């Protein structure tokens, strides 16, 4: 599923969960209220998982796009072109890649590299 589809599914799920919560009134029996609250909690947990998955896919797409952008700059027609924005672009690509998540959903851990001062 695409991030957009996941977000749409999440929106429908949150709406359904809210409807479950609205069913609880002062006249609702305790057993039924507990059942509805349980359903609400499970639906909201699923909505959270859907949001996490959508965000992970968006980060992955951004990282892949930045990698493709980096490959284009290595082509012969782009070589030798440097400017003040190059360092910022490299830093932006590095930060995007640093947040990239692997296929299992666990965050890939990178350490910051700090350059030593020139002597």
Mean pLDDT rounded to a whole number for the chain: 76
Among the listed residues 79, 84, 58, 72, the one whose alpha carbon sits nearest the alpha carbon of residue 1: 58
Asked if residues 65 and 93 have their Cβ atoms less than 8 Å apart, the reply is no
Q: Using the Cα atoms of residue 26, residue 29, residue 35 and residue 39 in order, give the sign of their dihedral.
A: negative
SS3 for the chain, per residue?
CCHHHHHHHHHHHHHHHHHHHHCCCCCCCHHHHHHHHHHHHHHHHHHHHHHHHHHHHHHHHHHHHHHHHHHHHCCCCCCCCCCCHHHHHHHHHHHHHHCCECCCCCECCCCCCCCCCCC
What does the domain layout of the chain look like in residue ranges? 3-98
* Each residue's pLDDT tens digit, 82-102: 555 666 677 666 666 655 544
* Entry pTM: 0.56
Average confidence (pLDDT) over 33-55: 93
More confident residue, 80 or 64: 64
């Amino acid at each position: 599923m695409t991030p957009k589809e996941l977000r749409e599914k999440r929106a429908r799920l949150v709406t359904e969960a809210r409807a479950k919560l609205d069913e609880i009134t002062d006249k609702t029996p305790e057993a039924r209220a507990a059942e509805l609250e349980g359903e609400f909690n499970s639906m909201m947990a699923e909505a959270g998982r859907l949001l996490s998955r959508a965000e992970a896919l968006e980060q992955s797409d951004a990282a892949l796009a930045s990698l493709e952008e980096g490959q284009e700059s290595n082509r012969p027609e782009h070589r030798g072109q440097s400017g003040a924005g190059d360092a910022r672009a490299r830093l932006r690509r590095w930060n995007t890649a640093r947040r990239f998540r692997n296929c299992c959903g666990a965050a890939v851990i990178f350490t910051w590299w700090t350059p030593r001062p020139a002597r």
